[in-house]
Amino acid sequence: MGVIGYAVAAAVSLGCAAALPKQGARRLLIGFHLAFVPMQFLFAFPNPVPNLGMALSVGIVVGLRPRFPRLSQRARKIWLVLHIGISVGWLGLSLGMLTLALTGSLARTHAVRHGAYEIFHVFDLVIVIPSVVLTIVTGLVLSLGTPWGLVKHRWVLTKFLISLAIPGAAAVESRWVTELVARTEDPATEPGALGVALAVTVGCFAISLWTATILSVLKPWGRTRWGRDAGSPSTITVTVTDRGQVAEDTVALTLEPVGDRDLPPWEPGAHVDLILPSGLIRQYSLCGDPAETRRYRLAVLREPGGRGGSLEAHTLHPGTRLEIRGPRNNFPIAEAPAHLLIAGGIGITPFLPMLPRLTAAGVPWRLVYRGRSLDRMAYAGQLEAAYPGRVSLHPADTHPRPDLAELVRRLPAGAAVYCCGPTGLIEAVAQECPHGTLHVERFASTSREGSRHPFDAELRRSGRTVRVPADGTLLAALHEVDPGLPASCTNGVCGSCRTPVLDGVPDHRDDVLQPHERDRTDVVYPCVSRARGDKLVLDV
């Protein structure tokens, strides 16, 4: 069987190699060697040499860099359950085999010694062969049918090569066990060096299985991104070095990098992703001095009715380590002859670094600051003292809402208006501002419901086209192909999933683009946005 099998493999491989780069020949060669890997287990038990053939088949498949259809999430879960269940069984089986090998080598009575090797022999015949095949087949399906699999991640390939080495060990120990069963039929015969060699081999076998388990947990050389990329190289580890109360229910946090590295530079209006110890990711505006390269400063309002991020942020204390991503800036200072800044509550934070920059540039500006009460308006006193005549405080418990129409009417032509705060305030300001003058940053996503029809997304760089269903998101479809595409908030606020558009008309449903930018056709935020037509062509 082995001679016939390898003769066929050689003929198919040479024939396809001669016909390459034709697509049909490439597909045939990939399909054949994928099927040939588990088939070679039939040859491996009587002889360990076919393990080299399995490694060669895997090398051919990986070298051809195949593109496999991606498993759906449901199918992936089914295969993952099978793979984990069989693999866990292997861990227990390996320890059982090691126990039997040690028992056979160290037992003082003939009945125990011979019985241990007979049970070991039954394990070989009944459990080892099907377990090996099922473990590797399910692992192969998962690694090739998911975007972070065998072709992309070295730790997955290492695991697979470990699994291919298992039949080699099984082939050797199988012959030894057969010999030991026959040898120990005689009560006077000891297992000797062969019994010790069997125990050592099975011990190495168990170690290799636990190594594969450790690789699955630690994922060195390239962590997967099915969930969040909190461990990716783009994250920065920081330490909370200071925490202070700046208003009722508002704390300021100072973050400094771990080690000697400087933090990335930023401009007023930027924000960072704060990756909290629980894994929650929230976006907060930077409100310190952009000239400081060794610290970031954030201010966080405690919101009991929120999604939990602010409550956890309020438990952070000096010495806590966490990670951040960014910074990103969707709210930069625009070129304009004058600037009106309108802040609501904690929406004051992105304006704090803007005011010194505008003042140094000699550009006229005015800040209107609205809040529930003066004691809940962070930095209110400092701002009023630092910029007398330019800052207007309007606490709701003592002052009516400012006359927004009058504020906008007094602005010179071409002036820029900025607003950051609750949705009601932003919508009220938007009603008063001419098209193209308003720049906003929101705390939370707005509702932009519309028709949801399926469409195609062509990924120009990868050469693939994905179908976006009516009940799915463009980002989810893209992650089926490349889970490394960045994403953070996934509700259209942070801007981390920005994707260039080469053709087609996006249906913008995000809160990143400014009101006067919503007709743009060169960019899309796929976590919430869709296509107006039947197709988008993306630079992915």
pLDDT in tens, 435-484: 668 888 887 666 666 778 899 999 887 788 889 998 888 888 888 777 76
Residue 373 CA, chain-centre distance (Å), reads: 41
Q: What is the pLDDT of residue 477?
A: 86
pLDDT tens profile 208-220: 878 877 777 666 6
Q: What is the pLDDT of residue 223?
A: 44
pLDDT tens profile 484-516: 677 777 777 777 788 999 989 998 888 888 877
Q: How far apart are CA 265 and CA 357, in angstroms?
A: 15
Q: How are the residues of the chain apportioned to helix, strand and coil, as percentages rounded to the nearest 5?
A: 45, 20, 40
pTM for this model (two decimals): 0.54
Structure token digits, residue 136: 């590797």
* Bridge partner list, 344: 370
Q: What is the pLDDT of residue 447?
A: 63
Q: From edge to edge, which strands make up the β-sheet containing 391-395?
A: 391-395, 365-371, 339-344, 416-421, 438-442
Does residue 342 or residue 310 have the better pLDDT? 342
DSSP-derived 3-state class of residue 441: strand
> Residue 225: pLDDT band by 50, 70, 90 thresholds?
very low
Are 138 and 79 spatial neighbours (Cβ–Cβ below 8 Å)?
Answer: yes
For every residue of 48-86, DSSP letters joined together read STHHHHHHHHHHHHHHT---PPPPPHHHHHHHHHHHHHH
